[in-house]
Structure 1
Amino acid sequence: MRGTKQSVSMKQQLKKYNNYKDSGIEWLGEIPEHWEVKRIKDAITKIGSGVTPKGGSETYVDEGIPLIRSQNVYNDGLRLDNVSFITEEVHNKMKNSQLKPFDVLVNITGASIGRTCIFPESVKTANINQHIIYLRVKKKKVEYFSYYLKSNTIQEYIMNIQAGTSKEALNMSQILNIGLPFPESKEQTQIATYLDAKTTAIDKKVKLLQQKIKHYKAYRKALINETVTKGLDKTVKLKDSGISWIGDIPEHWEVKRLKDVCRIFTGNSISDKSLFEINKDAYNYIATKDINIHTKQVNYDNGVYIPKNDKSFRITKKNTCLICLEGASAGKKLTFVDREVAFVNKLCAIKSFDKNVFDKYIFYLLQTNLFNSQFFELLSGLIGGVSLGLLKYFNILVPAIKEQQQIANYLDAKTATLDKIVKNIEGQITTLKELRKTLINEVVTGKVKVSA
């Protein structure tokens, strides 16, 4: 709601120019009458593209000259937390792609095509690989120029000119011939100064909201951990669990092995999904990608179905936990299915066969430090995984069935409330980010006027 109010407030502050003219560029439309239309090549002093260092990633070193790649270039600035480095010798061999402060970087290939930022003065020098070009602009024009490249108008144009090609890519000619609305120098400075102030204010609000989300998610995790391992009654007498790393537990609780109360089994892989596209008298087939790592929700409607008369697939019942056992998502992707499903071999089904164990309680237990400490300590192999043989012997805490149900019901209600709060905050962030993009676009294309 606050983001929406701010959007209306900002738009009300801005007025249109008195007179407009046709820019002569269909996708740009009308611009203020006193503005010129140029092409990017008329506004820059140099353009350059990067190359892959001879020897590829083997030339990377722990310290040296930063080699900027597409994953470092974002519209909100350069991110160097995962930057690679090359030696000064390699850097000197790549003279045509050496950067200077205030160069404008543009990603020209892949999913991040069009992402752009200014190379900051604080970094001094760096080089770029073949997925980036740099545009050198006079310092006093660089801020306006950079904002224009970030505008929705240009981003949509970039998507259109490379659409339909076999590869997501831009070439230098396409970049150089992009139309550029050009106000006089003083007005460019006014526009850049205005947008600096407004986008900084928006970014600050977004950062505060992101911190709120981080807080709520940490609280959610701690709540699950504390409730599942200590129970709802904080006055209950505790006892030594007999396992040093578990510590004290409620006196009437038991420590059991997962295999003593649950059936544990993996699913089946599919080599050709096109053979399983008919949704008639069939089970949904769940792959690892269908589980949201953050919300733990599952996408049942992925277009893959297993006929119920195909007995070669393992099927699990409703109210079963599915957890990923291998790969980057091992131990992190987890869901609770509300129907019978077939599932991929990287997922493991954990389903209670003991009438004194409540499945939803197990779902929350799999999110605790108690489970995670056992799981991640045993990750092994090139792709990282935990075998069924080891998983079966994991220790779990087992209260009375009624208490398990109370814990699960309590956490269902509490986590639903927290998730709703987080979703609301995420909506505010989305609104603010859209406002940021709209504001930049309206100002740099002359749809609204910035006062001095």
Structure 2
Amino acid sequence: MSKYKRYERYKDSGVEWIGEIPEHWEIGRLKNSIKSCRNGIWGDEPQGDINDVACIRVVDFNRTNMEIEVNNLTIRNVPVSKQKMYLLKRGDLLIEKSGGGEKQPVGFVTIFNHDIPAVYANFIARMELEEEKVYSGFYKYVHYAMYSVRLNVKSIKQTTGIQNLDINYYFEESVIYPPLNEQKIIANFLDQKTAEIDSLIADKEKLIELLQEKRQAIITEAVTKGLNPNVKMKDSGVEWIGEIPEHWEINKLKRLSNIITGNTPPKSEEENYDDEGIPWVKPDNIQDDGTISETKERLSVIGLQKARLIPKSSAIVCCIGTVGKVGFTQEDCTTNQQINSIIFERPSIWNNKYGFYCLCSSKNEHEKYSNKVVVSILNKTQQGNILMPVPSLKEQKAIANFLDQKTAEIDDLITEIKLQIQKLKEYRQSLISEAVTGKIDVREFQNKNEVIFRNE
């Protein structure tokens, strides 16, 4: 933030999360900024009559730009006579008061910047502000800064699985009150700068998508066509594989491996689990690059006796929900019932790593074989019938080594870009906090085109 100047004189705010503030700013309770706060309404199923109205839900909160997304709104039926109490107007702030979770607690605030008739759901409260003293475009950033330091968490009451925000307690928090004209200047500054940062982040996320597509294309090309571009080809007779080298074969997965479905030892029996035990893998642990993240739960020696041990260098495939998501074990582990493990027990004809890469290319085939009811489910019998290309063992090893190198190069690039994105997000959050608490003076801001982020 060194490129932005500071105010000339400061004073101690007396509030830990705010720190010192410009001398002419004031500190007051959050409730002093609010004219009224009303909980929402859910209404009934739409009837196709004049009482049908768009209803804002928490799912419509854009947690990046702190605005409401209106592209796919839910329609509910609320009597017109009741709608008047709940109709939103441009500039209203909406706060999530019920729901949330450990990673995304309740208390997030967005602004309604639209001119469409809409009410808001019962898990949300609308804050109508004292417009003569506060500007909602500024206070959405104040709430964001508060949320970033988890001030909202102190106001959460949770007696069941649902978090509830004690609104009155939250409104007792101390916040900043700059002069109204400064609020508007700071909000305009942050609107532009965060939009610029968000655009940079979107560009980098798109680049990651392109790299992931390239990564997958390289894998599929290698496991189905081999590394010799001059080899004579033949039709495999399998749609997802296409043409293969003439000397290759096709075989069912069940004839190349042993497929084991995981399970869950009873969680009611504490002796089944041990923080120092063997990893118990769930689908969330399988990363996009096939690595397996640290598991939160591990099985004890007792729990292992009720589970199925999966040896190192096996492939694991999610077969319930996100069917076809593939990982490769770097150590002995166990899995839950959403995962089928592919244990390559015929080393004379099938290379473990080549088999993993084949599975990475067969996601669509896994989906095709699955039963789609509420969620996609693929049992091991269905999975075992998936056809795989089988080159010579020597070629399998060469392909696996080639792909190890190529995917590592791409993964390193992706990791670097993700680090850049993280730095941008941290800078964005810091910029908001510094601006709304007066650590930087942006009163002379004139929409200057500045370099937001430079790769070091």
TM-score normalised over the length of structure 1: 0.86
What's 2:31 paired with?
41
**Using the alignment, how far apart are the partners of 1:418 and 1:170 within structure 2?**
44
**Using the alignment, how far apart are the partners of 2:154 and 2:441 within structure 1?**
28
String of CA shifts for 1:52-106, please: whole Å, max 9, x gaps. 325xxx5598x9633212222134122345532224x456534433211221122
**Using the alignment, how far apart are the partners of 1:169 and 1:244 within structure 2?**
52
Match of 2:263 among 268, 271, 280: 268
**Using the alignment, how far apart are the partners of 1:425 and 1:324 within structure 2?**
27
Give identity over the alignment, percent.
29
Question: Are positions 1:358 and 2:358 aligned together?
Answer: no
Contact 1:323 1:348 in 2 (8 A): yes
What's 2:443 paired with?
451
Correspondence 1:231-270 to 2 at 5 A: 231-243=226-238, 246-270=241-265
What's 1:186 paired with?
181
Contact 1:153 1:441 in 2 (8 A): no
Match of 1:204 among 185, 199, 203: 199
Cα 1:436/1:340, change in 2 over 3 Å: closer
**Using the alignment, how far apart are the partners of 1:19 and 1:309 within structure 2?**
63
What is the Cα deviation at residue 246 of structure 1?
3.9
**Using the alignment, how far apart are the partners of 2:228 and 2:250 within structure 1?**
18
Count of residues in correspondence between the two structures: 431
**Using the alignment, how far apart are the partners of 1:230 and 1:402 within structure 2?**
15
What's 1:4 paired with?
none
Question: Are positions 1:93 and 2:88 aligned together?
Answer: no
Q: Which amino acid aligns with 1:409?
A: N
Q: Which amino acid aligns with 1:363?
A: F
Question: Are positions 1:53 and 2:76 aligned together?
Answer: no
Provide structure 2 residue ranges, at least 5 long, that are not aligned to the other structure. 445-456
Correspondence 1:104-183 to 2 at 5 A: 104-109=93-98, 110-111=100-101, 112=104, 113-121=106-114, 123-137=115-129, 138=131, 141-152=135-146, 155-162=149-156, 168-183=163-178
**Using the alignment, how far apart are the partners of 1:232 and 1:302 within structure 2?**
40
What's 2:382 paired with?
390
What is the Cα deviation at residue 394 of structure 1?
1.2
What's 2:420 paired with?
428
Contact 1:73 1:107 in 2 (8 A): no
String of CA shifts for 1:280-302, please: whole Å, max 9, x gaps. 8x64333334333x232224553
Contact 1:284 1:306 in 2 (8 A): no
Q: Which one is further off, 212-221 or 158-167?
A: 158-167
Contact 1:91 1:98 in 2 (8 A): no
Secondary structure at 1:187's aligned position in 2? Answer: helix
What is the Cα deviation at residue 148 of structure 1?
1.4
Provide structure 1 residue ranges, at least 5 long, that are not aligned to the other structure. 1-10
**Using the alignment, how far apart are the partners of 1:186 and 1:391 within structure 2?**
64
Structure richer in helix, relative to its length:
1
Secondary structure at 2:317's aligned position in 1? Answer: strand
What is the Cα deviation at residue 170 of structure 1?
2.0
**Using the alignment, how far apart are the partners of 2:209 and 2:289 within structure 1?**
14
What is the Cα deviation at residue 41 of structure 1?
3.3
Q: Which one is further off, 136-145 or 206-215?
A: 136-145
Secondary structure at 1:348's aligned position in 2? Answer: strand
Q: Which amino acid aligns with 1:104?
A: L
Cα 1:240/1:133, change in 2 over 3 Å: same
**Using the alignment, how far apart are the partners of 1:314 and 1:396 within structure 2?**
25
Match of 1:284 among 268, 273, 279: 279
Q: Which amino acid aligns with 1:259?
A: K
What's 2:450 paired with?
none
Cα 1:152/1:422, change in 2 over 3 Å: farther
Question: Are positions 1:372 and 2:366 aligned together?
Answer: no
Secondary structure at 1:366's aligned position in 2? Answer: helix
String of CA shifts for 1:105-141, please: whole Å, max 9, x gaps. 22223234232221122x5121211222222233982
String of CA shifts for 1:353-404, please: whole Å, max 9, x gaps. 3311111111011111xx2232212221443211222222111100111111
Cα 1:225/1:154, change in 2 over 3 Å: closer
Q: Which one is further off, 401-410 or 148-157?
A: 148-157
Secondary structure at 2:296's aligned position in 1? Answer: coil
Cα 1:344/1:245, change in 2 over 3 Å: closer
Cα 1:227/1:48, change in 2 over 3 Å: same
Contact 1:152 1:437 in 2 (8 A): no
What is the Cα deviation at residue 30 of structure 1?
2.7
Secondary structure at 1:146's aligned position in 2? Answer: helix
What is the Cα deviation at residue 164 of structure 1?
8.4
Contact 1:290 1:302 in 2 (8 A): no
What's 1:78 paired with?
68
What is the Cα deviation at residue 152 of structure 1?
4.6
TM-score normalised over the length of structure 2: 0.85
What is the Cα deviation at residue 206 of structure 1?
1.1
What's 1:295 paired with?
289
Secondary structure at 1:169's aligned position in 2? Answer: strand
**Using the alignment, how far apart are the partners of 2:316 and 2:147 within structure 1?**
44
Q: Which amino acid aligns with 2:186?
A: I
**Using the alignment, how far apart are the partners of 2:300 and 2:148 within structure 1?**
45
Contact 2:238 2:387 in 1 (8 A): no
Q: Which amino acid aligns with 2:53?
A: I
